[in-house]
């Protein structure tokens, strides 16, 4: 197994005016290629922040992020953007689709930002993804015409268009009903089984059980770690941690 | 209520930049409006002020020689409508030589040594006449025409043809000198003693008197009364103060016309900005409006929110603009005050203030209200849920086209943004287009002026110099000219006043000689054939008498209508004088009207490198010669140059306003799109691509603006110049334009609009993705 992501002593301090807030307090972790990692923790514990820093959306205050042989915390804005475009796929709780573009345009967008890629090739790939996600009949609609589950599938298709090295999902089912959420999770698991390295933030033990292992975060620190698979065990550990914290 | 007020203040400060920029445009438009209105309200202010100061006469009567007695003057002064008079003033039409070279006919007039009670003169250079000295005070217009300065010598020809040289000791303005009608001779003023010593024979003196009237508007009635006092005509000519005033005010009217155009443009631009800014603000805050309504704001309160903001902005802007306008108000009147040798500050007027405060905030508030109603009507749930209104379903065909052409995604998206909000794009585009129109207008005018300057024939000036004769015969004059060194060709002209059978009088120019050597410009019809009764006319004459090419016109002499003669109009020429109300015919054809018709002035075409000194020496060998040579100089009136400057200024201001508008538009649409930009950056759009995407929208607008603005500007220039030249009776104008300069305008305007959106674009490229994504 090869190490794909290596995070060391990551700290992140938010400053709002005079007030400083330390969201990450020295997180170190490694993700191997092909892993499916879930991150759990209470609201405000720093899960999204960690995801953002790993995905190159934000820079850490200290510590380093290595991914696929590149050091993210040394990159400038443009390099980071190129890196996100080619190496990372994002899926968010609130789909974050672009309203005035069609489903197909939304999916193809990251590939189209790359001037070198051939339009035909991009089209072929987007059709394949839409087909695989079961929304090829929605290709010419706009996002607001779709259900939440369908919108999230569009977002997933968009995340995969550039064959990302790492998929980052921040509570992908948080805004969906149970059955749509399950469908989305099935899709993620399916891709992971095809070799897609995935890091997913979630509240739900039912989602986390799909992961190879689960990381628990509290107050900006990784406080625990356990294998996935057993939903009940994960839920119990979560309650344990909450009680220990208070 | 106080909740609304709090929100208004918060919004104004939250968007300080936009508040500031919109206020600036409001200030500019209010200042321009103030300037235009103040000029309109005070057009005749400087003249009236001076007229009062000098207690000028409302009516001047110039009597025919030998026909008037002191008794008549007494009776005139005793008329009920007459309140005061200058007493009889004597004058003599004399030929003078100015500074040893220019010869001219002037009206040499006696003025009292003490500035009189009625109709004193305004000395604007040098001093007034002193007792016991033989000296000349020259009227300003005469001084300007003949380039006379204080200290120059003027040689006066006496009755017996001997000469006396007198020094010019001052230049004075006479409010009754009518600069427009050329039948008045330029005036020189001397003391009674000087006059008597030069022209001792009292019988040759011309009498005139200036009257102040009880009712200044009753000039015609008083004149009728005076003329009916005697059975025979004894008043030769008269001057009406209203005519003199009109001429003095004319140049300011042009200024006014352009200032009005300025302010209308500016008001229009302000409305455009307000409408686009307000509607964008409403759109970008629609979610907020939904929340406001959810917490209990009524639709009216939401409207009030925006109306209130713009009421504050426009009141502040109108106030500052009004003050700025008042400070600048004396400037447009400068041309007139300078020519009157006086200063004038337009007085503060409540009417003016009322108008400015009605028009500027009025239009602004109306625009804000209309836009805000849309926001107020928005459905609460929908606006909270989806934010802005649902965008266009189908992408604009142009977007699909450039996508098909293979343009990069960023450019396609920027292009699409332009048309996603068509109303706002149209408003901003219009604003830019106005700027382009203004600049094209200025450039075209400048090109046209250049053409006219290079080819004065287009202005009806086909000659290089002219010669006038007095005592010499026509034959002698022609003989001299045909042998004069450097003269290529010449034609002679005899002028006579004629009238139509309806009694309309105008000046006829009867010409003979080598006419074909002169490049007469005939925009319509053709030149006449010699030895026929054909005529070419000024456009003004056709309009005035309601004639067309091909019509015939029967005329008699103005003074003597016993004989008539008929001409056929075959063409139109540009006639610069008398509002184009003149006519040129072959000299041979007027002999039937006037047996003594013979050329009195001669128009010369001279070699390019003619020795002017030699030519002058040949035509005017000594001081006693009665032939005078005058060279043609400046042909373009200075008011046109001013106008051109004014238009460039207007274009500049409009472009500046347009840039502000592009800036505001980009800023707002970027703010609206901030989420989209965040998402795009998340999925890998690099900062450079963000900048390209946002400035593409502005670039598209700039491109559309030049595409529409350049032809529209050219068209406007053509229409306006044609209208103006028709109004002045000048006939067709040929509008020329420097194509290279216009082409150069295209990249400039596009860059300018790109520049306007650069700051918002850079700002967007730097926004923190995480912060945007969190704003959920
Ligand atoms: N831009 C920011 N400025 C200040 N504090 C922030 C900012 N972003 C996040 N935080 C704070 O950092 C903490 C962690 O946030 P986040 O990573 O979003 O938590 P989670 O995703 O686990 O709920 C929270 O307390 C949050 O309030
Ligand atoms: Mg989170």
Q: For A162-215, what is each residue's pLDDT tens digit?
A: 889 999 999 888 888 888 888 889 999 999 999 999 999 998 888 888 899 999
Triad A25, A31, A34: Cα angle to 5°: 155
Residue B248 has what pLDDT?
73
Q: How far apart are CA A54 and CA A48, in angstroms?
A: 10
Instruction: Specify the DSSP class assigned to residue B581.
Output: -
- Identify from A113, A116, A145 which residue to disrupt to test chain B contact, counting B C-beta atoms within 10 A and taking the largest count: A113
* Residue of chain A nearest B388, judged by CA positions: A99
The average pLDDT across B135-160 equals: 85
Residue B380 has what pLDDT?
53
Q: How far apart are CA B416 and CA B392, in angstroms?
A: 10
The average pLDDT across B574-578 equals: 74
> Quick one: three-class SS letters along B427-444?
HHHHHHHHHHHHHHHHHH
Question: Average per-residue pLDDT in chain B?
Answer: 80
Beta bridge partners of B165: B155
Q: Which of A49, A168, A201, A245 to mutate to test the pocket of ligand 1 (most atoms within 8 A of CB)?
A: A49
Residue B182 has pLDDT above 60, yes or no: no
- B395: confidence class by pLDDT, cuts 50, 70, 90: low
For atom 20 of ligand 1, the residue with the nearest CA is A44
Kindly give the distance from the C-alpha atom of residue A41 to the centroid of ligand 2, in angstroms, as a whole number. Answer: 9
Q: Is A36's Cβ below 8 Å from some Cβ in B?
A: no
- B551: confidence class by pLDDT, cuts 50, 70, 90: very high
Q: Where are the extended beta strands (E) located within B82-121?
A: 82-85, 89-98, 102-110
Write phi, then psi, for B90 (nearest 5 degrees).
-100, 150
Provide the b/e sequence for B497-521 (b: ≥16 CB within 10 Å): ebbeeeeeebbbbbbbbebeebebb
On chain B, the residues whose CB falls within 8 A of the CB of A115 are 408
- Which atom in ligand 1 lies closest to the alpha carbon of residue A201? 21
Q: Is B772's Cβ below 8 Å from some Cβ in A?
A: no
Structure tokens at B583: 């006519």
Decide: B468 and B625 in contact? Cβ < 8 Å. no
Kindly give the distance from the C-alpha atom of residue A123 to the centroid of ligand 2, in angstroms, as a whole number. Answer: 33
Pairwise CB contact (< 8 Å): B683 & A158: yes
Pairwise CB contact (< 8 Å): B687 & A77: yes
Residue B209: its H or E element: strand B206-213
Beta bridge partners of A201: A39, A170
- Identify from A81, A84, A85, A102 which residue to disrupt to test chain B contact, counting B C-beta atoms within 10 A and taking the largest count: A81
Structure tokens at B41: 């309200």
On chain A, the residues whose CB falls within 8 A of the CB of B683 are 84-85, 90, 109-110, 113, 158
Residue A81 has pLDDT above 50, yes or no: yes
Q: How far apart are CA B219 and CA B226, in angstroms?
A: 11
Percent of chain B residues topping a pLDDT of 70: 81
Residue A61 has what pLDDT?
92
Beta bridge partners of B500: B555
User: Which 148-187 residues of chain A touch chain B by CB within 8 A?
Assistant: 158, 162
**Count of CB contacts below 8 A, A vs B?**
75
Q: Mean pLDDT: which of B597-601, B646-650, B764-768 is highest? A: B597-601
Identify which of B416, B683, B770 has the shortest CB distance to residue A84. Answer: B683
Percent of chain B residues topping a pLDDT of 90: 10
Residue A37 has what pLDDT?
93
Residue B278 has pLDDT above 80, yes or no: no
Pairwise CB contact (< 8 Å): B684 & A142: no
Q: How far apart are CA B225 and CA B209, in angstroms?
A: 15
Structure tokens at B183: 């039948």
- Give the residue carrying structure tokens 């006086």: B342
Structure tokens at B594: 């006037």
Kindly give the distance from the C-alpha atom of residue A221 to the centroid of ligand 2, in angstroms, as a whole number. Answer: 15
CB atoms within 10 A of CB B761: 26
Domains for chain A: give ranges and CATH numbers.
3-245 (3.40.50.300)
Residue B268: closest CA among B22, B45, B577, B29: B29
For atom 16 of ligand 1, the residue with the nearest CA is A46
- B49: confidence class by pLDDT, cuts 50, 70, 90: confident
Q: Which of A11, A14, A54 to mutate to test the pocket of ligand 1 (most atoms within 8 A of CB)?
A: A14
Kindly give the distance from the C-alpha atom of residue A14 to the centroid of ligand 1, in angstroms, as a whole number. Answer: 8
- B393: confidence class by pLDDT, cuts 50, 70, 90: low
Q: For B61-101, what is each residue's pLDDT tens digit?
A: 888 877 788 888 888 888 888 889 888 889 888 888 887 67
Range name among A44-48, B68-72, B104-108, B177-181 with the lowest pLDDT average: B177-181
Q: How far apart are CA B427 and CA B421, in angstroms?
A: 10
Residue B339 has pLDDT above 80, yes or no: no
On chain B, the residues whose CB falls within 8 A of the CB of A78 are 686-688
User: Which 48-107 residues of chain A touch chain B by CB within 8 A?
Assistant: 52, 57-58, 77-78, 81-86, 88, 90, 92, 94, 96-100
Q: Name the fold adopted by B462-631.
A: Barwin-like endoglucanases (2.40.40)
On chain B, the residues whose CB falls within 8 A of the CB of A158 are 683
Write the DSSP assignment of B394-408 as a string of letters: SPPHHHHHHHHTT--
Triad B452, B455, B460: Cα angle to 5°: 80
Listed by start position, the domains of chain B span 1-56+265-390, 65-233, 395-459+638-776, 462-631
Write phi, then psi, for B538 (nearest 5 degrees).
-75, 150
- Which atom in ligand 1 lies closest to the alpha carbon of residue A171? 21
Q: CA gyration radius for chain A?
A: 18
Residue B94 CB contacts under 8 Å (≥ 6 apart), including other chains: B105, B106, B108, B156, B157, B158, B199
Residue B284 has what pLDDT?
62
Identify which of B386, B408, B409 has the shortest CB distance to residue A109. Answer: B409
- B552: confidence class by pLDDT, cuts 50, 70, 90: very high
The average pLDDT across B626-654 equals: 64
Residue A112: its H or E element: helix A103-112
CB atoms within 10 A of CB B182: 10
Q: For B661-691, what is each residue's pLDDT tens digit?
A: 777 777 777 777 777 888 888 888 888 988 9
Residue B493 has pLDDT above 60, yes or no: yes
Residue A212 CB contacts under 8 Å (≥ 6 apart), including other chains: A35, A36, A37, A227, A228
Beta bridge partners of B309: none
On chain B, the residues whose CB falls within 8 A of the CB of A82 are 684, 686
Pocket of ligand 1 (CB under 6 A): A 14, 16, 21, 23, 41, 43-49; B 771, 774
Structure tokens at B93: 């039409």
Residue B47: closest CA among B242, B239, B245, B211: B245
Q: For A16-63, what is each residue's pLDDT tens digit?
A: 878 899 999 999 999 999 999 999 988 888 999 999 999 988 889 999
Q: For B17-27, what is each residue's pLDDT tens digit?
A: 778 877 887 88
Residue B535 has pLDDT above 90, yes or no: yes
Q: How far apart are CA A190 and CA A202, in angstroms?
A: 18
Residue B389 has what pLDDT?
45
Residue B510 has what pLDDT?
93
Q: How far apart are CA B548 and CA B542, in angstroms?
A: 6
Question: Average per-residue pLDDT in chain A?
Answer: 88
Structure tokens at A126: 């987007």
Structure tokens at A85: 């475009």
Q: For B198-243, what is each residue's pLDDT tens digit?
A: 888 888 888 889 999 989 898 889 888 888 887 777 888 788 888 8
Residue B494 has what pLDDT?
92
On chain A, the residues whose CB falls within 8 A of the CB of B410 are 113
Residue B430 has pLDDT above 70, yes or no: yes
């Amino acid at each position: 197994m090869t190490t794909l992501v290596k995070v060391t002593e990551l700290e992140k301090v938010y400053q709002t005016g005079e007030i400083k807030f330390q969201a990450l307090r020295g997180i170190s972790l490694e993700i191997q290629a092909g892993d499916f990692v879930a991150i759990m923790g209470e609201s405000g514990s720093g899960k999204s922040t960690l995801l953002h820093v790993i995905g190159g959306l934000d820079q850490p205050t200290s510590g380093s992020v290595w991914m696929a042989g590149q050091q993210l915390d040394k990159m400038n804005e443009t390099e980071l953007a190129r890196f996100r475009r080619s190496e990372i796929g994002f899926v968010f709780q609130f789909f974050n689709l672009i309203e005035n573009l069609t489903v197909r345009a939304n999916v193809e967008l990251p590939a189209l930002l790359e001037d070198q890629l051939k339009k035909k090739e991009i089209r072929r790939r987007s059709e394949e993804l839409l087909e695989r996600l079961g929304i090829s009949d929605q290709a010419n609609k706009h996002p607001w015409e779709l259900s939440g589950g369908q919108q999230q599938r569009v977002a997933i298709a968009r995340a995969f268009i550039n064959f990302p090295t790492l998929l980052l999902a921040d509570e992908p089912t948080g805004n969906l009903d149970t059955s749509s959420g399950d469908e989305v999770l099935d899709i993620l698991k399916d891709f992971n089984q095809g070799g897609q390295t995935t890091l997913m933030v979630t509240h739900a033990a039912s989602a986390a059980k799909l992961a190879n292992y689960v990381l628990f975060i509290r107050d900006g620190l990784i406080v625990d770690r356990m294998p996935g698979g057993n939903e009940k065990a994960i839920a119990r550990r979560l309650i344990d941690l909450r009680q220990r914290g208070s | 209520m106080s909740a609304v007020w709090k929100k208004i203040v918060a919004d104004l400060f939250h968007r300080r930049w936009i508040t500031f920029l919109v206020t600036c445009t409001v200030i500019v438009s209010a200042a321009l409006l103030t300037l235009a209105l103040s000029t309109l309200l005070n057009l005749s202010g400087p003249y009236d002020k001076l007229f009062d100061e000098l207690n000028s006469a409302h009516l001047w009567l110039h009597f025919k020689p030998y026909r008037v007695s002191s008794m008549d003057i007494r009776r005139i002064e005793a008329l009920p409508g007459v309140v005061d008079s200058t007493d009889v003033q004597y004058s003599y039409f004399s030929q003078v030589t100015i500074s040893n070279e220019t010869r001219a006919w002037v009206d040499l007039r006696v003025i009292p040594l003490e500035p009189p009670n009625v109709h004193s003169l305004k000395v604007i250079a040098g001093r007034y006449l002193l007792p016991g000295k033989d000296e000349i005070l020259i009227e300003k217009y005469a001084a300007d025409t003949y380039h006379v300065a204080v200290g120059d010598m003027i040689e006066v020809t006496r009755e017996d043809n001997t000469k006396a040289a007198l020094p010019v000791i001052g230049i004075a303005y006479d409010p009754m000198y009518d600069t427009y009608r050329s039948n008045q001779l330029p005036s020189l003023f001397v003391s009674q003693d000087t006059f008597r010593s030069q022209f001792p024979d009292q019988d040759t003196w011309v009498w005139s008197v200036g009257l102040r009237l009880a009712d200044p508007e009753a000039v015609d009635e008083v004149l009728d009364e005076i003329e009916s006092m005697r059975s025979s005509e004894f008043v030769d000519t008269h001057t009406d103060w209203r005519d003199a005033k009109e001429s003095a005010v004319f140049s300011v009217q042009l200024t006014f016309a352009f200032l009005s155009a300025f302010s209308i443009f500016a008001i229009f631009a302000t409305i455009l900005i307000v409408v686009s800014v307000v509607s964008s603000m409403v759109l970008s805050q629609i979610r907020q409006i939904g929340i406001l309504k959810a917490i209990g704001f009524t639709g009216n309160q939401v409207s009030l929110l925006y109306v209130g903001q713009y009421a504050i902005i426009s009141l502040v802007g109108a106030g500052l603009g009004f003050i700025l306008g008042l400070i600048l108000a004396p400037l447009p009147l400068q041309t007139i005050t300078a020519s009157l040798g006086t200063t004038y500050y337009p007085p503060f007027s409540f009417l003016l203030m009322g108008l400015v405060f009605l028009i500027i905030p009025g239009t602004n508030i109306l625009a804000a209200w209309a836009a805000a109603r849309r926001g107020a009507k928005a459905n609460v749930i929908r606006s909270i849920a989806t934010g802005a209104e649902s965008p266009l379903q189908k992408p604009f065909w142009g977007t699909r086209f450039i996508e098909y052409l293979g343009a990069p995604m960023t450019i396609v998206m920027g292009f699409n943004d332009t048309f996603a909000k068509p109303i706002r794009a149209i408003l901003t585009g219009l604003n830019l287009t106005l700027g382009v129109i203004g600049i094209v207008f200025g450039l075209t005018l400048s090109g046209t002026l250049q053409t006219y300057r290079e080819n004065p024939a287009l202005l009806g000036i086909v000659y290089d110099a002219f010669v006038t004769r007095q005592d010499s015969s026509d034959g002698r004059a022609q003989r001299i000219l045909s042998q004069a060194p450097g003269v290529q060709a010449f034609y002679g002209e005899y002028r006579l006043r004629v009238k139509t059978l309806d009694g309309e009088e105008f000046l006829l120019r009867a010409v003979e000689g080598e006419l074909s050597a002169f490049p007469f410009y005939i925009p319509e019809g053709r030149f006449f054939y010699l030895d026929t009764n054909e005529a070419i006319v000024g456009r003004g004459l056709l309009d005035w008498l309601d004639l067309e090419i091909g019509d015939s016109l029967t005329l008699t002499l103005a003074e003597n209508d016993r004989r008539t003669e008929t001409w056929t109009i075959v063409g139109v020429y540009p006639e610069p004088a008398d509002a184009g109300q003149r006519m040129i015919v072959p000299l041979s054809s007027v002999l039937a009207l006037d047996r003594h018709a013979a050329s009195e002035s001669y128009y010369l075409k001279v070699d390019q490198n003619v020795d002017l000194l030699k030519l002058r020496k040949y035509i005017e060998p000594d001081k006693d010669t009665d032939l005078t040579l005058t060279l043609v100089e400046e042909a373009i009136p200075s008011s046109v140059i001013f106008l051109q400057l004014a238009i460039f200024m207007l274009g500049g201001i409009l472009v500046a306003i347009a840039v502000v508008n592009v800036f505001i538009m980009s800023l707002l649409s970027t703010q609206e799109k901030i989420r989209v930009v965040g998402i795009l950056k998340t999925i890998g759009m690099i900062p450079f691509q963000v900048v390209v995407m946002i400035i593409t929208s502005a670039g598209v607008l700039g491109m559309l603006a030049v595409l529409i603005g350049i032809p529209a500007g050219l068209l406007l220039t053509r229409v306006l110049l044609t209208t103006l030249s028709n109004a002045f009776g000048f006939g067709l104008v040929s509008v020329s334009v420097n194509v290279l300069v216009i082409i150069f305008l295209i990249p400039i305007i596009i860059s300018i609009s790109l520049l306007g959106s650069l700051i918002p674009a850079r700002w967007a490229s730097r926004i923190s993705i995480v912060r945007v994504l969190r704003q959920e």
